[in-house]
Amino acid sequence: MARRLNTCDASFAQDFENLLFAKREVEEDVAAGARAIIADVRKRGDAALVELTNKYDHAGVTVETLRLTADEIGASVTQVTAERLGAIETAATRIEAYHRRQLPAGERFTDETGAELGWRWTSVDSVGLYVPGGTAAYPSSVLMNAIPAKVAGVKRIVIVTPATGGKINPLVLAAARRGGVSEIYRIGGAQAVAALAYGTATIAPVDKIVGPGNAWVAAAKREVFGQVGIDSIAGPSEILVIADNQNDPEWIAADLLSQAEHDASSQSILITDDAAFADKVAAAAQRQIAILPRQEIAAKSWGDYGGIIVVDRLAEAAALSDRFAPEHLELAVADPEGLLALVRHAGAIFLGRHTPEAMGDYIAGPNHVLPTSRTARFSSGLSVLDFMKRTTILSLPPKAMAQLGPEAIALAEAEGLEAHARSISARLNRKE
């Protein structure tokens, strides 16, 4: 059963801190092992990839079969039902339309000195997308990572995914093909991250690595950062629902469990101003857990890390939510826009009683790759901008140099950088 808190209780401040900072991740010291794997791949290349892949994934690959052929992908996609292919198409179309609106514009302008300034945006050349394998299949994550990269203008999008037992889920391949992925490799783990970062004879290196993975993948991404860019190191999933008593408690319970079923370390929080409604949601959650296929996971998540907080007024909920800075925030209240104005920190916000977070996971359009573990206080979800970089532009005519140069020289000399000062003064002495 989830923990119950009430802002009127004398112990609320401490109880809230305990809930807020509950340790949800088991620390797994795999950094040294990941470093060893990365070094091995850098040294032995494809041979290390094949050996490690067959050892950990029992994939039965050779150097020649590391990369899936177009025929293999096509044959696998034929196994996907028309209904699911249609759902992938609808999701992809909506995700693409949403992310096209994020494309930034460059600008050039001339200021009062005659200096021309500006910036332009260009995409990175190549991106590697890590897709978890095993029993999990997340075609939605493929779309959410690949499509923004494609919209940004990335020319080469590569997927690495463990072919556990030699198999890759056909849905993942269907999403990859629709998302514009150009290469797919049967590799996973730290060795896949190493191959993307440093390259082998078979796999050319990329400029940025995105996508979720286990502790080994996370450790490897930390190790290669700087050689390549990375998106983030994601923690367990989270949802916080602010709801009044006009909601159906069964709906709210389902929303909370939609994240609890992800992982035993996930966290689901309800904030409401009605204790009786809180009781109804808690009872509904227990009923629903009993019939979930992933009931063991959901029960542990809800029991260990779930919380129900009763407040005097819903306006208080915004400040409490900001302390959590949740990955997902639902505002299931009569005036969601009014409450939205009070909230500052959340990865994604879902407004109104008929907007469950689960729609955002799949088909609505906004990206579902979001900051976790309170990092929404300072970071944002995945977007087109994660696959682009901004370059500044400056052009100075003699008039602008004459006006601005002397003060630039004064600053250079103050910093003791004589060559900087000479670089500027040389142009001031030129006769045009």
Among 21, 23, 19, CA closest to 270: 19
Measure the CA angle with vertex 75, ends 82 and 155; round to 5°: 90
Sequence-separated contacts (24+) of 22-30 with Cβ below 8 Å = 22/267, 22/304, 22/305, 24/235, 24/236, 24/265, 24/266, 24/267, 24/305, 25/235, 25/236, 25/265, 26/265, 28/215, 30/190, 30/215, 30/216, 30/219
Q: Which of 262, 328, 345, 368 is catalytic?
A: 328
Q: Looking only at Cα atoms, what is the longest distance across the chain?
A: 85
Residue 327 a catalytic site member? yes
Residue 345 a catalytic site member? no
What is the C-alpha to C-alpha distance for residues 401 and 398, in angstroms, rounded to an integer? 5
Q: Count of CB atoms within 10 A of residue 379's CB? A: 12
Q: Which of 327, 345, 357, 368 is catalytic?
A: 327
Measure the CA angle with vertex 211, ends 208 and 217; round to 5°: 90
What is the C-alpha to C-alpha distance for residues 291 and 424, in angstroms, rounded to an integer? 74
Measure the CA angle with vertex 221, ends 220 and 225; round to 5°: 120
Q: Count of CB atoms within 10 A of residue 27's CB? A: 7
Among 29, 391, 384, CA closest to 210: 384
What is the C-alpha to C-alpha distance for residues 184 and 191, in angstroms, rounded to an integer? 15
Give the residue numbers marked as catalytic. Answer: 327-328
